[in-house]
Amino acid sequence: MMKLSRRQVCMTGLALAGAAPLLAAGAAAAQQLKGGTLRVAVLSELANFDPQQLSTVNFHVIKNLYDSLIEYTPDGKPQPGLASAWTIAPDKSSVKLTLRDGVSFHSGAPFKSDSVLATLQKGADPKRGKNVFSTMSIVKDWSAPDERTVVINFKAPAPERQILDLLQFLIPIDPKGIDTVETIPAGTGPYTLVNRAVGQGLTLKANPKYWREKQPIAQDLVFTVFSEDAAATAALESGAVDIVYNGSSRSAVRLKGAGYQVFAGPGPLVQVFRINSTRGPFRNKSFRQAFNHLMDRASILRVGYAGMGKVVALPWAPASPAFDEGYTKAYAYDLDKAKKLIAASGLSADEMKGWKLLVNGSDEPSIAISQIVQGSLQKVGIPIELDMRQGAEYVTALLGGDFAATFGAVGNVQKFPSRVTTNSIYRTSGNPILKDPHPHPAYVAAIAKVDAAAGGEAEVKAAYDNLNRVLVDEAFGIPTNSYDVGLIVASGKIGGITLDIDNLFVARTIGFK
Amino acid sequence: MSEALRSLGKLLRRLAGRRGPALGLAFLALVASAATFAGVLPLDPLAQSIADSLKPPSAESWFGTDELGRDILARVVYGARTSLVTACGAVLIAGLIGIPVGLVAGFYGDWRDSLLMRCVDVLLALPNVLFAMTLIAVLGRSQAAALIAVGVAGIPGFARIARAQVMALRQLDFVTAVRSFGGGPGYLMFRTILPNILSPLVVQAIVLASIAILLEAALAFLGVGVPPPTPSWGEMLRTGKSYLYEAPTYAVLPGLVLTLTILSLDTIGRALTALLDHDEAGMPAEAAGGRR
Amino acid sequence: MTAYALRRLAQMLPVLLIASFAIFAMVYAVPGGPVAVIVGENASPEEIAEVSRRLGFDRPMLVQYVDWLGRAATGDFGLSLHSRQPVAHLIGERLPATLQLALCAILIALAIGIPVAVASAVRPRSWLDRVLSGWSALALGVPTFWLGILLILLFAVELRLLPSASRYVPLWAAPLEALRSLALPALTLGVYVSGVLGRFLRASLIGEARADYVRTARAKGVPERRIVGLHIMRNALLPFVTIVGLMMANFIGGAVVTEAVFTYPGLGRLLIQAITTRDYPLIQGCILVILIAYMLINLAVDMLYAWIDPRIEYR
């Protein structure tokens, strides 16, 4: 199991993502790959090097500068990482980790339990924990019996999958560099930072003391930041880069037609039409439910994401344990059903309009799909306007809950279902949009039930079913489709692509044929 | 004022007598009437038909369809409205602020001149697009914001020309004559001098109109113009650029209309300048001055 | 002359002060502060308040402005909020890219503009003049972003000769690669400027040709080639220098649209990026640099003017 070949990894990954037939990846893994300088085009400038501030903008560097305690295969099987072994206590209230021997940080300091403790401490700190903080909420305390062992205790028995998710999310940071980790990476990863030109890119070189044998294959790793998708693909076509990472689905489809290799990981995002149920007509449940049927999901998927992905009515990727295909059909695009629900709401025509759909003007797909929804609303007699905001202004409105409705993708949709609560609209407490007390207690209860389901399979299944029912009934988030984030488009001479469960970019196995 | 209008009519007739400007006038008339009477044409710029997206030009849709299956020709026609509204509004704003600023600065020529012109210099030193972008960031994306941003960017043009003209005129006999009869500064500036400097200001208005249309398109191209689904030429170029492979005509055709509009305005503006320069040939040398 | 330069420099100060304050006030008024972007989507209101306090955004605007001004005067523009890198360093990285593009564009413009202007000024109103004037009008009227798109369609999509997106490669580091990257954006800008230069130079050449000294020279029997080459050209070049300088000054920040079409990493794009992320220190630093560059180039042009033409006196 531990020696799962790259070929299997790629195959499962592609199959899971519903992507096209396997390309030459299998053959590539079999033959010897050569090293060299790997040139990668990325579409976002990274925010900083803190692995606990994981977001799509730094997806391309984290797995190359750092290692996790454990890894997942694309189909969700745990694999040893910096923890060479782990034992979950029978009562599921603690986990004991054995740390890998002979690993050192880029600074030269040996990897020991103190770094895991420092990392846990940072994660549990509300100010420094960033997006690891919410995942740490199940943790009570931790200890290190010796230099190679760490024990993490939980507040209550936790489902196994939730424990594994935590370990996979924990990336040990060098204790000496933990305070400056935003600007100076402090990991054990296969590459070390050479330099960074903000807005333009960064250069990494192979870590000669890396612990995984014969990795990394490429000696140099150069990322170039492109602000536009078209520019990145042009660079690939002209041979200026070898790989485009995190480009648009549309370009991927076109390049695939032109003979390039396309890899889609198992950790897609789900686009969600977020509804602020504390405002105007959206306080009315029947009116909200109409939106389950107002989403022309097929068109949204086609125009926004070139058809790459799946239409969904629940915020789960197909790999999620809570995924349920039946809901997609039951809550399909149907203007008649929508009209009936709108009529049942008892709202007057005036009450139903007068709100604006907030749009992220920096995101091309959002602009297109928001116009599709606007068109559908027009058809059922609800004329609305779009409120376009750029960059920071959009983020502020999104975070402050200063909107009536908006499209926003959610992540962590392939993991333990309650991980969806890391996304602001699905947060159960301190929800910045819906505020406290949470206006949908049924939803809060359903999440709590999932978290408490540490028992048998039937109990877990019942908890998931209940959550799904509540999600479409409360209808404050209307998922429309899953789509690929971190798509990899590579020239034909590239081989050895490894897919990551979160679709992060993993360069250490990549080489030239 | 009616005299000014009459001479404008005369100018138009003379313009129409020359080939380049006549073509320009004809094209502008076409664009303007299409924008004004778009409502009666069988064109819907918002009707989506996703099954028919990104179609090349055909008999049903002459310019093809966009990513949401909307008719590009319809969007170009309605986009003309956005462009013209922006151009007119911007010229109005720039004129209403820029001309008085220039008049006051040029008329007094003292500390008021220095102060006002330093402010104008600031506006001039910052590239138009950057200035407009910052202003739109403050105001939020809307038709009004685009119009104001473009208008404010046009203030220095009017202010400088008005100032230069006033400085040339203020010592001339007819102005000193009115002054000696007890005409106040306001009367002198707006009733005596202004009517006499209308022609260069009209030319400036045309120049600014073309700059305004270009700037509006540039802002939309950078993604901060009039918000969709309202059609705008610049926005169409922006979206079309990302479909260069699938539908090359998407970005090319709206760009062609935009370019022809700007070329028309430019041709007319130059022809007008030539005509006016010719008319002014008999005037005292200083009258045309102010150019350093 | 030195006194003049010093006086001009002193005059620049109030303009810079007014401008920097205006920009500060404007940026301050922008809704959606930078804090939300820094803390990310899953931040709590307390966290936002804390970051805001740490970065000093809770102080009155005037205090923040004076604080910034004091440090800017010593060359310290602070750190970019987004990347946590010194603003001066970020600008320093982009400035060479911008200058390289501007210089190439000006060279292309001169290469097209001067021959066009001279050829059409030799025989005004001839068919050649009409054609070349038409070219100038076209070069001026075609929006750079549309021309850019057409060039991409032709050279990148159809012929696959040049990249549709440009990177900054220093000319001295890898000349060929740099030229490949620069070709399309420089051509786009250069064509536009060639229109400006062509039209301007033609007008001043024709104006000079009518001047008295030319008539005198002709009457004296000075060869026509010498008249055009020496007398007319030299005098017409004077205002021409101004225009070239102005164009150069404009490109420091004003080539944003071209930079956007070709995703060229220039100063203008840095500023746009700063505006969308509300990176206050970066916005202020960029605008200040653009203003100073504009004014210095203007000054340099005036000095050059005086040097070429000693008739101009500076009081």
Nearest one of B103, B82, B99 to B220, comparing CA atoms: B82
> Per-residue pLDDT tens for C83-101?
778 899 889 988 999 999 9
In this complex, the chains that touch B, judged by 3 or more CB pairs closer than 8 A, are: A, C
3-state secondary structure labels for all residues of B91-156: HHHHHHHHHHHHHHHHHHCCHHHHHHHHHHHHHHHCCHHHHHHHHHHHHCCCHHHHHHHHHHHCHH
Q: Are the CB atoms for A468 and A288 separated by under 8 Å?
A: no
> Per-residue pLDDT tens for A405-459?
999 999 888 888 888 887 889 988 878 889 889 999 999 999 999 988 877 788 8
Beta bridge partners of B190: none
With respect to residue B11, please indicate whether it lies within any of the assigned structural domains: no
CB of C53 less than 8 A from some CB of A: no
Percent of chain A with pLDDT over 70: 94
Peptide bond into A216 cis (omega under 30): yes
CB of C50 less than 8 A from some CB of A: yes
CB of C170 less than 8 A from some CB of A: no
The distance of C102 to chain A (nearest Cα, Å) reads: 19
pTM, to two decimals:
0.83
How much is the pLDDT for A19?
Answer: 37
Which residues of chain B have a CB within 8 Å of the CB of A359?
227
**What is the residue range of B83's domain?**
18-38+57-288
Residue with tokens 């197909």: A318
CB of A227 less than 8 A from some CB of B: no
Nearest one of A214, A238, A241 to A496, comparing CA atoms: A214
The distance of C228 to chain A (nearest Cα, Å) reads: 46
- Please provide the average confidence, as pLDDT, over all residues in chain C: 82
How much is the pLDDT for B258?
Answer: 94
Give mean pLDDT, residues C213-240: 76
pLDDT exceeds 90 at position A299: yes
How much is the pLDDT for C300?
Answer: 84
Given an 8 Å threshold on Cβ–Cβ distance, is C90 in contact with A230?
no
CB of A372 less than 8 A from some CB of B: yes
Residues A255, A257, A258, A259: is their CA dihedral positive or negative?
positive
Question: Which letter does DSSP use for residue B55 in this model?
Answer: P
Residue among B68, B229, B245 minimizing CB distance to A303: B68
How sure is the predictor about C36, in pLDDT bands with cuts at 50, 70 and 90? Answer: low
> Per-residue pLDDT tens for A95-120?
999 999 999 999 999 999 999 999 99
Tokens standing for B280? 């002014």
pLDDT exceeds 70 at position B271: yes
Task: Tally Cβ neighbours within 10 Å of residue A328.
Answer: 17
Q: Which residues of C203-238 are buried (b: 16+ CB within 10 A; e: fewer)?
A: ebbbebbeeeebeebeeeeeeeeebbeebbbebbbb
How sure is the predictor about B288, in pLDDT bands with cuts at 50, 70 and 90? Answer: very low
> Per-residue pLDDT tens for A453-477?
877 788 889 999 999 999 999 999 9
How much is the pLDDT for A330?
Answer: 94
How sure is the predictor about A222, in pLDDT bands with cuts at 50, 70 and 90? Answer: very high
Residues A42, A45, A51, A54: is their CA dihedral positive or negative?
negative
Q: Are the CB atoms for C36 and A396 separated by under 8 Å?
A: yes
> Per-residue pLDDT tens for B131-184?
888 888 778 888 888 899 899 988 998 898 888 888 888 777 777 777 777 777
Nearest one of C86, C290, C162 to A238, comparing CA atoms: C162
> Per-residue pLDDT tens for A67-101?
999 999 888 889 999 999 999 999 989 999 999 99
Tokens standing for A419? 């991980």
Q: Is B42 exposed, middle or buried (0-12, 13-18, 19+ CB in 10 A)?
A: exposed
pLDDT exceeds 50 at position A12: no
How much is the pLDDT for A370?
Answer: 96
How sure is the predictor about B289, in pLDDT bands with cuts at 50, 70 and 90? Answer: very low
Beta bridge partners of A204: A193, A221
How much is the pLDDT for B2?
Answer: 60
CB of A229 less than 8 A from some CB of B: yes
How much is the pLDDT for A154?
Answer: 94
Backbone angles phi, psi at A284, to 5 degrees: -85, 120
Given an 8 Å threshold on Cβ–Cβ distance, is B50 in contact with A303?
yes
Q: Are the CB atoms for A85 and A143 separated by under 8 Å?
A: no
How much is the pLDDT for B3?
Answer: 63
> Per-residue pLDDT tens for A303-360?
999 999 999 999 998 878 899 999 999 999 999 999 999 999 999 999 998 899 999 9
Widest Cα–Cα separation across chain B: 76
Q: Which of A236-250, A368-382, B119-133 has the lowest mean pLDDT?
A: B119-133
How much is the pLDDT for C39?
Answer: 66
Given an 8 Å threshold on Cβ–Cβ distance, is A361 in contact with B137?
no
Non-local (6+) Cβ contacts of C68 within 8 A are C24, C78, C281, C284
CB of C126 less than 8 A from some CB of A: no
Q: Is A38 exposed, middle or buried (0-12, 13-18, 19+ CB in 10 A)?
A: buried
Q: Is B155 exposed, middle or buried (0-12, 13-18, 19+ CB in 10 A)?
A: buried
Percent of chain A with pLDDT over 90: 64
Q: Which residue has the higher pLDDT, B187 or C45?
A: B187
List, as one string, the DSSP characters of A246-275.
S--HHHHHHHHHTT-EEE--S--EEEEEEE
Q: Are the CB atoms for A361 and A390 separated by under 8 Å?
A: yes
pLDDT exceeds 90 at position A286: yes
* CATH code (residue B142): 1.10.3720.10
CB of A367 less than 8 A from some CB of B: yes
pLDDT exceeds 60 at position B234: yes
HSE (side-chain half, CA atoms, 13 Å) at C53 = 6
With respect to residue B50, please indicate whether it lies within any of the assigned structural domains: no
How much is the pLDDT for A395?
Answer: 82
The distance of C148 to chain A (nearest Cα, Å) reads: 13
How much is the pLDDT for C305?
Answer: 72
Residue among C41, C46, C83 minimizing CB distance to A399: C41
Given an 8 Å threshold on Cβ–Cβ distance, is C26 in contact with B122?
no
In this complex, the chains that touch A, judged by 3 or more CB pairs closer than 8 A, are: B, C
Residue in chain C closest to A127 (alpha carbons) equals C47
Give mean pLDDT, residues B54-77: 91
The distance of A70 to chain C (nearest Cα, Å) reads: 24
How sure is the predictor about C42, in pLDDT bands with cuts at 50, 70 and 90? Answer: low
H or E element that contains C92: helix C87-122
Residue among C149, C260, C294 minimizing CB distance to B125: C294
The distance of C278 to chain A (nearest Cα, Å) reads: 6
Chain B interface, Cβ < 8 Å to A = 46, 48, 50, 53, 67-68, 137, 140-141, 223-224, 227-229, 239, 241-242, 244-246
SS3 A405: strand
Size of interface A-B (CB pairs under 8 A): 53
pLDDT exceeds 70 at position A31: no
How sure is the predictor about B122, in pLDDT bands with cuts at 50, 70 and 90? Answer: confident
**Which residues 270-289 on chain C approach chain A with CB closer than 8 angstroms?**
270, 273, 275-278
With respect to residue B66, please indicate whether it lies within any of the assigned structural domains: yes
Q: Which residue has the higher pLDDT, A344 or C30?
A: A344
Residue among C32, C47, C165 minimizing CB distance to A127: C47
Q: Which residues of A444-469 are buried (b: 16+ CB within 10 A; e: fewer)?
A: bebbebbbebbeeeeebeebbebbbe
Given an 8 Å threshold on Cβ–Cβ distance, is A390 in contact with B141?
yes
With respect to residue B84, please indicate whether it lies within any of the assigned structural domains: yes
Give mean pLDDT, residues A211-237: 88
Given an 8 Å threshold on Cβ–Cβ distance, is A303 in contact with B46?
no
Nearest one of C22, C232, C70, C184 to A234, comparing CA atoms: C184
Residue in chain A closest to C156 (alpha carbons) equals A234
Number of domains in chain B: 1
Which residues of chain A have a CB within 8 Å of the CB of C270?
199
Alpha helices for A361-427 (secondary structure H): 364-379, 391-400
CA distances from C173 to A40, A203, C98 (A): 21, 17, 16
Q: How far apart are CA A234 and CA B223, in angstroms?
A: 21
Give mean pLDDT, residues A52-69: 91
Which residues of chain A have a CB within 8 Å of the CB of B237?
none
Nearest one of C213, C222, C215, C149 to C184, comparing CA atoms: C149
Which residues of chain A have a CB within 8 Å of the CB of B241?
230
Non-local (6+) Cβ contacts of A432 within 8 A are A399, A400, A401, A424, C44, C45
> Per-residue pLDDT tens for C135-153?
888 888 899 999 999 999 8
CB of A391 less than 8 A from some CB of C: yes
CB of A231 less than 8 A from some CB of B: no
How far out from the chain centre does Cα A278 lie?
27
> Per-residue pLDDT tens for C250-266?
787 778 889 988 888 88
Residue with tokens 């485009």: A244
